[in-house]
Chains A and B, each alone.
Chain A
Amino acid sequence: MNSINLLLGVEFWVATIRIATPLMFGTLGELLCERAGVLNLGIEGIMTMGAFVGWAAVYQGADLWIGVLLAAIAGMVFGLLHSLFTVYLGLSQHVSGIGITLLAANLAYFFYRVLLPQVNTPPKITPFQPFAIPLLSQIPFLGKAVFTQTPLTYAAFILVAIAAYLLYRTPIGLAIRMVGENPSAAEAQGINIYSIRTLAVVIGSAFMAIAGAFLTLSAFDSFFVNLINGRGWICIALVIFASWQPFKALLGALLFAGFDALQLRLQQKIGAAIPYQLFLMLPYIFSIIALSVMARRAGYPKALMVPFRKGER
């Protein structure tokens, strides 16, 4: 009975949506990169960098939104670096991505230490506060669960819709899908493969960085080592779960977050009887099962991870 009460409590749903927010940003970012044919394993590091830059800016006195913007720009810089390696030079997307993750994450930790050489307890900032949307938040249950979140969460939901519209209803979206599916076909139509891929990777990386910034500016209020804790890798799995479709990505993020929220609560309820590590495993077990069910049918972009070289036979 306890566990059913857990699921019915509005707090559970508020937490689920909060936990889902960075996954939504990150998954959308990765989805955009992959739709253009570029796997971006830099996501974990770019999220770390985004988290740090956003937090550091606000710590130095910047506005919260300026923090988000700076984080996005930092993400774009690393996205540009990734596309330089993978799009223009045609290097291995795995190697470049993992390199970027190591580089970005450790640069973030390095600058954190430079900024705060002596501090042991991470200093706090004032994060985004929940903002109840008038009228909508009055809806029973749903209003409280969905419409009393922080602004970045609303942005994430809107972004899912924008990304879907962009991909399926605009010329640029068509170009991105085509480039990820058959770059030589797109080239024969006069599309510049390199610029489209770079664009997708840069914008996608900005989303990833915002995902990181959400954690320090909205979910928590400080930056610390191993803050991202594998969320980037989960996003990569969620993209496959979503078959590269934005709305399914939203669904996947919510499902995963739901399991995460559930395991946190189960830990508290059941506590000492079962080692807490078992609960920690729960969301990941879910993602393995979901992936093995979904990935069989996944319609992956055919040119994913295939470097495009002009004029090659």
Chain B
Amino acid sequence: MNSTSVQSDIVLHLNHISKRFGSLLANDDISLELRRGEVLALLGENGAGKTTLMNILFGHYTADSGEIRVFGRSLQSSSPKAALSAGIGMVHQHFTLADNLTVLENIMLGTEPLWHLWQRQQNARQRVIALADQFGLSMHPDAKIADLSVGERQRVEILKALYRDVKILILDEPTAVLTPQETEALFTTLHKLTQAELSVMFISHKLQEVMRVSDRVIVLRTGRVVATVPTAETTPAALAELMVGRPIPQPTRQFQTPGEALLQLAAVTVASQDGRPLIDQLDLTVRQAEIVGIAGVSGNGQAALFNLLSGLLTPTSGTVRLYGQVCDRFTATDMVRANIARIPEDRHTTGLIGDMSIWENLILADYAEPAFSQKGFLKRHSAIAHANQIIQAFDVRCPSPFATVRLLSGGNMQKLILGRELSRQPQIILASQPTRGLDLGAVTYVHQQLLNARDRGAGILLISEDLDELLSLCDRLCVIYQGKLSAPMPTETVSLQTLGLMMAGKDKADAI
């Protein structure tokens, strides 16, 4: 989608922006310019300062120094309101929508004087529908946000900005949550936007997308601009190296012969409170030294499967065997004792306790073990020593073990979780979306850790929506659809297309 006529007039200048969070220099003297009708990709690892920079531009943060010029005018007050009226809109990575309100209400908020006695809903509705048609963002204006899919919510976010006539649209990791089809639709929309002479800042760490969608690329590393290149003149490999600052090693996958069955599920059903099956008559075996992948669109029972094996749910029927023994107690403690490591989907809510320190987070499962407690008192020194060890071994970038977890980047949080779970030398590893939202370096790291665990003889159940990840790591693959699991397939026999169709509910026979 490289537009051939990139116009040279510049709509936005960032001049020497710096921002410091405590001891972390998040943005270090960043300057860039954005041209009319172009897609400018802002590429960088997590923690490189992309989101911070955009939050400064959109007025969530105030820069410590530097200047923003929009259409030749200096953008003074730092608030989203000022940014919006200067013509800058932003689609946040974590959507800023109110679930209990309708699409239209979310879009209209703040566009009318607050003290009007009524809302001009009719005009607004027509405008929203017109904009949606123009840019391929089909949408029902009166639908509740809570009822929309993730892709639809993102369209609402884009509409929100367009409704305000923005000329510059910032998209923060827009594809992180989308299915391949939704990503395609987004790219079409972006193309229409640039044709309408809007300028787009596209924040991403996915190289393929950046190559496809952008006209120019700016690469950030540790808060600095390391390169500005026209997309046509670069390659994914070159960008990757710029981004990480060193060549990226590919994870090595050795041949392993699977050993005994570690985890066996036979006809396991878990029903929700209203009696609907979340997972339905599920059969699954994970053996020593193998990775079994579960593909599927999220919401098809993955969470229930993960929670069952984490000890957060109890099966309604069927048997679960751990190391050949029938398991009849399903509590989190039992699963920890059974040496099951859990890498949950959501780092922020179930993986870590954001407001607690690193060393505390690292003993969440083991705090009562003799290694860390004695006669009811915490052995702080050994816990901190343990934390230092994991920080070293898993290369967690943090000021100290006393740092608050909430302030770490996503990649470092994930390394902490990996460190906590893998340092226990688990026999069984449950990993759900272990690389979601992580940057290239971190993804490779996580993959290598999982492969190492497999070489050590652990059995790994990998739940993921990233098909490339599944195809490159797994020995066997299953597809979950509406709570039912397909028979396992050796990875070599499966293609991307087959998986895609099976994820949409087609039988394997039909899919091939």
Which residues of the other chain, A, contact B112 by a CB distance below 8 angstroms? 171
B binding-site residues for A, Cβ under 8 Å: 21, 55, 58, 60-62, 79-81, 84-85, 90, 92, 95-101, 105-106, 108-119, 160, 406-407
Q: Please, could you name 16 A-B residue pairs with CB atoms under 8 Å apart, sorted by A?
A: A169-B118, A171-B108, A171-B109, A171-B112, A171-B114, A174-B109, A175-B109, A181-B101, A185-B95, A185-B98, A186-B96, A187-B80, A188-B58, A188-B80, A188-B92, A189-B111
Closest chain A residue to B107, Cβ basis? A189
B61 in contact with A311 (CB, 8 Å): yes
Kindly state whether residue A178 has any CB partner on chain B within 8 Å. Answer: yes
Kindly state whether residue A170 has any CB partner on chain B within 8 Å. Answer: yes
A190 in contact with B101 (CB, 8 Å): no
Kindly state whether residue A163 has any CB partner on chain B within 8 Å. Answer: no
B99 in contact with A181 (CB, 8 Å): yes
Which residues of the other chain, A, contact B96 by a CB distance below 8 angstroms? 182, 184-189
A170 in contact with B61 (CB, 8 Å): no
Distance between A110 CB and nearest chain B CB, rounded to angstroms: 38
A311 in contact with B116 (CB, 8 Å): no
B406 in contact with A299 (CB, 8 Å): no
B110 in contact with A190 (CB, 8 Å): yes
Closest chain A residue to B110, Cβ basis? A189
Kindly state whether residue A191 has any CB partner on chain B within 8 Å. Answer: yes
Q: A188-B90, A189-B110, A191-B110 are in contact. Are A178 and B119 (CB under 8 A)?
A: no
Distance between B286 CB and nearest chain A CB, rounded to angstroms: 37
* Chain A residues numbered 131-171 whose CB sits less than 8 Å from any CB in chain B: 169-171
Which residues of the other chain, B, contact A310 by a CB distance below 8 angstroms? 60
B106 in contact with A185 (CB, 8 Å): yes
- A16 vs B377: C-alpha distance in the bound complex, in angstroms? 58
A191 in contact with B109 (CB, 8 Å): yes
B60 in contact with A189 (CB, 8 Å): no
User: Per DSSP, are chain B's interface residues mostly helix, strand or loop, or mixed?
Assistant: loop
Q: Which 6 residue pairs across A and B have the least CB separation, nearest first? A: A190-B81, A185-B96, A189-B110, A181-B98, A188-B96, A171-B112
Chain A 7-18: CB-based contact to B (< 8 A → 1; otherwise 0): 000000000000
Distance between A127 CB and nearest chain B CB, rounded to angstroms: 34
Choose among B97, B98, B115, B117 the residue with the greatest number of A CB atoms under 10 Å from its CB: B98
Residue among A182, A191, A311 making CB contact with B97, cutoff 8 Å: A182
A189 in contact with B80 (CB, 8 Å): yes
Which residues of the other chain, B, contact A187 by a CB distance below 8 angstroms? 60, 80, 96
Which residues of the other chain, A, contact B117 by a CB distance below 8 angstroms? 170
Residue among A169, A174, A189, A313 making CB contact with B407, cutoff 8 Å: A313
A174 in contact with B116 (CB, 8 Å): no
Given contacts A171-B116, A178-B106, 13 further A-B contacts (CB under 8 A): A169-B118, A171-B112, A174-B109, A178-B105, A181-B99, A181-B100, A186-B110, A188-B92, A189-B109, A189-B110, A190-B85, A302-B99, A311-B55
Kindly state whether residue A197 has any CB partner on chain B within 8 Å. Answer: no
Choose among A171, A174, A191 the residue with the greatest number of B CB atoms under 10 Å from its CB: A171
- A189 vs B105: C-alpha distance in the bound complex, in angstroms? 12
Closest chain B residue to A185, Cβ basis? B96
Closest chain B residue to A311, Cβ basis? B61
Residue among A170, A184, A189 making CB contact with B118, cutoff 8 Å: A170
Which residues of the other chain, B, contact A172 by a CB distance below 8 angstroms? 114-115
Kindly state whether residue A231 has any CB partner on chain B within 8 Å. Answer: no
Which residues of the other chain, A, contact B21 by a CB distance below 8 angstroms? 313
Choose among A186, A189, A191 the residue with the greatest number of B CB atoms under 10 Å from its CB: A189
Which residues of the other chain, B, contact A188 by a CB distance below 8 angstroms? 58, 60, 80, 90, 92, 96
Distance between A171 CB and nearest chain B CB, rounded to angstroms: 4
Which residues of the other chain, B, contact A311 by a CB distance below 8 angstroms? 55, 60-62
- A249 vs B377: C-alpha distance in the bound complex, in angstroms? 49
Kindly state whether residue A177 has any CB partner on chain B within 8 Å. Answer: yes
Which residues of the other chain, A, contact B97 by a CB distance below 8 angstroms? 182, 185
Distance between B476 CB and nearest chain A CB, rounded to angstroms: 40
A182 in contact with B98 (CB, 8 Å): yes
Which residues of the other chain, A, contact B98 by a CB distance below 8 angstroms? 177-178, 181-182, 185-186, 302
